[in-house]
Amino acid sequence: MKHCPSFAQERAQLAEQLLSSLDTLSEAEIEQLWFQEAAHRAKEMDQGLV
């Protein structure tokens, strides 16, 4: 599987956002973050980056 150079960094940022959100974001906000990440991953797949 090919990864773009910042793939690991993006995943780390997502993990950091999600972990820090456990106490600060609502369930709806967390869900929105996951939808954004899913859209980002789908775009990368469509572009053949992963």
pTM of the model: 0.56
Instruction: Please state, in angstroms and as integers, the Cα–Cα distance from residue 33 to each residue in 13, 27, 48, following that order.
Output: 11, 10, 23
Check: CB of residue 33 under 8 Å from CB of residue 13.
no
- Give me 34's structure tokens: 């996951």
Per-residue b or e along 2-39, where b marks 16 or more CB atoms closer than 10 Å to that residue's CB:
eeeeeeeeeeeebeeeeeeeeeeeeeeeeeeeeeeeee
Query: Per-residue pLDDT tens for 3-49?
Result: 565 788 988 998 888 888 777 778 898 899 899 999 999 999 999 98
Tokens 């690991």 belong to 8
The residue among 23 and 1 whose pLDDT is bigger is 23
